[in-house]
Amino acid sequence: MEFEGPRPLEASEIRAAAQLWYDGWYEAHLDIVPASLTALRTLDSFHDRLAGARAQVSVMGSVGAPVALCQVNRDELKQLFVAPEARAHGVAAKMIADAEARLDRGLVWLACSVGNDRAARFYEKHGWRNRGVVEIQVDTSEGPYDLGVWRFDKLL
């Protein structure tokens, strides 16, 4: 399977990218994060976060039909989501290579929900080390939310 990109997220496809993020987030997190966090993860919340962070987001797929998205902010890889039909085809590998090129040089990090074993396996395969559980504050429409996550890091 061949997909365009990685390329910048266009304003016209924020809704489609939010749907991709929403679907992937629920699939991976529904069983492993508190219900109080799930309640805040509405489709509109993903749309608003993407609209506010568009310059930090890369996608793959044709314009209007993204199959993968990744957000980086300085030394943090913030989001990586690949649609089910594009998984296990090297799309995620292209996305993380692009993310690593966009991140700051030095020690970079990402948060992965505890129990998201597929994502953890993927990050380890790409040279990221699981440093164990740490408490962080994740962004929500209601402000910061305290959550225990696996912290991964990598020296670039």
Ligand X SMILES: CC(C)(COP(=O)(O)OP(=O)(O)OC[C@H]1O[C@@H](n2cnc3c(N)ncnc32)[C@H](O)[C@@H]1OP(=O)(O)O)[C@@H](O)C(=O)NCCC(=O)NCCS
Q: How far is the CB of 92 from ligand X (least distance, A)?
A: 3
Binding segment toward ligand X, per CB under 6 A, in 11-19, 20-28, 41-49, 133-141? 20-28
| Using rule CB under 6 A, residue 119 touches ligand X | yes
Binding segment toward ligand X, per CB under 6 A, in 33-41, 52-60, 77-85, 128-136? 77-85
Binding segment toward ligand X, per CB under 6 A, in 10-18, 34-42, 115-123, 130-138? 115-123
Let me know the angle formed at the C-alpha of 57 by 55 and 60, rounded to the nearest 5 degrees.
130
| Using rule CB under 6 A, residue 100 touches ligand X | no
| Using rule CB under 6 A, residue 117 touches ligand X | yes
Q: How far is the CB of 80 from ligand X (least distance, A)?
A: 5
Q: How far is the CB of 30 from ligand X (least distance, A)?
A: 11
| Using rule CB under 6 A, residue 149 touches ligand X | no
Give the CB-side neighbour count of residue 116, counting CA atoms within 13 A.
27
Cβ(127)–Cβ(107) under 8 Å? Answer: no
Q: Looking at beta carbons only, is 46 or 81 nearer to ligand X?
A: 81
Give the residues lining the site for ligand X (CB under 6 A).
Answer: 24, 27-28, 80-82, 87-88, 92, 112, 116-119, 121-122, 125
